Amino acid sequence: MSRKRVLAGVAATLTITLGLAACGSGGGIEGGGAEGGGGGGSAETVFRLAFNQTEEHPQYKAAMQMGEDLYEATDGRYGIEVYANELLGTQSDVVNNVSEGSVEMMLIGGPLMESFNPDFVVFNLPYMFASQEAQAAVFADTAATGELFASIEESKNITVVAGLFAGVRNVYNNERPVRTPEDLAGLRLRVQQSDSQVAMIEAMGGVASPMGQGEVYTALQSGVLEGAENNETVYNSLKHDEVAKYYSYTEHLMIPDYLLMNTDVLAQMSEEDRAAFTELVPALVEDANTGFFEFIETSRAASEENGAEFNEDVDVEAFRQRVAPLVEESIDNDVKQGLYDAVQQYNEQYPAES
């Protein structure tokens, strides 16, 4: 099978450091699972991977591919079954299942990690990454992120397997195009569930309303919210473009998603099978990240057909200045400072395209 490998200059190395010895139960469904791709149908052990977006999403496709490759690499001992569309529950619920081991894997938005270890906040701050390449380089640098990714193994039994690009987030609402922070006045905007996201929208000039992704459409439709902030793919695939037609490029966030795995489950694999799993992770990251750009294009075109208006005339500098104090005060310990410095180093190496 042929794959496209085009991610700019990122050494695709990844080692999973397991702080815990194998213990406890878990280890996936024995003897098969749902039918379908991802090597899930006939593998001896199937890892359930919870996903809150559609089957069109490049992360879904990359995870299915990883499942097939894992099935092959382990002679059918392991496969992955991806459950899309929040079928296994919202991210904030499912993460507890991953912690207990009743779900083996999931993809989760960065802000939800802050309640487990506040140091994750660094990657969720506004205007943090200069480019997608800079972000990918940070996550491929295990010296920079290895400890953070292993930091909740003991407390939560969760290993962060990888950090993934999840688009650039912009604001949208059903009242008006947004050009300046003043244009956000009085608009209630949904944010992901964390303090950093609430503080950010308040600093940008809006009214923040934290909630799970699945509730947003109804909240917009019923007038509980005037808007939200997200990338073009969510805006289109969750039909937010039907109920909030003004999408404005504030470009305020490049929040990553993380691939999580129950730590015991990973530890219980034989060394050989775990190595096979680990070797497939860089390809998953690259496939998902590469596919994202095309997905943005098709999503935007589809939203435009639905009547959405995309506004590029935004005073990004004004928003950046509004949130600068928040970024500064959020870097309040040595670990965060170290992560912040690593980001700055890669921002210099991979600056924004002008």
Tell me, residue by residue from 201 to 240, as one string, x for binding to ligand GCU by CB under 6 A and - for no binding.
------------x----------------x---x------
Pick one of 45, 65, 74, 91: the residue that binds ligand GCU (CB under 6 A).
91
Report the nearest approach of ligand GCU to the CB of residue 2 (Å). Answer: 27
Using CB under 6 A as the binding rule, whether residue 299 contacts ligand GCU is answered as no
Angle at 38 between CA 234 and CA 289, to 5 degrees: 40
Is residue 49 within a helix (H) or strand (E), and if so which, with residue range?
strand 45-50
Is 289 a binder of ligand GCU (CB under 6 A)? no
* Least Å from the CB of residue 229 to ligand GCU: 8
Q: How far is the CB of 234 from ligand GCU (least distance, A)?
A: 4
β-strands 207-210, 246-253: how paired? unpaired
Q: Is 330 in the site for ligand GCU (CB under 6 A)?
A: no
* Minimal distance, residue 146 CB to ligand GCU, in Å: 22
Specify the residue, 99 or 192, whose C-beta has the smaller distance to ligand GCU: 192
Task: Quote the least distance from Cβ 257 to ligand GCU, whole Å.
Answer: 5
Site string for ligand GCU, 107-136 (x = CB under 6 A): --x---------------------------
Nearest residue (CB) to ligand GCU, 52 versus 65: 52
Looking at the DSSP bridge assignments, the partners of residue 227 are: 173, 189
Contacts of residue 290, defined as CB under 8 A and 6 or more positions apart, other chains included, come to: 4, 5, 6, 7, 58
> Hunting for tokens 């205007």 — which residue is that?
127
The residues facing 188 across adjacent strands are: 207
What does 152-206 look like in DSSP terms, one character per residue? THHHHSEEEEEEE----EEEEESS----SGGGGTT-EEEE-SSHHHHHHHHHHTS
Asked whether the beta carbons of 312 and 249 are under 8 A apart, the reply is yes
Residue 154: CA count within 13 A, CB half-sphere: 4
| Shortest distance (Å) from residue 297 CB to ligand GCU | 16
- 52 in contact with ligand GCU (CB under 6 A): yes
Which residues sit at the interface with ligand GCU, rule CB under 6 A?
Answer: 52-53, 91, 109, 166, 192, 213, 230, 234, 257
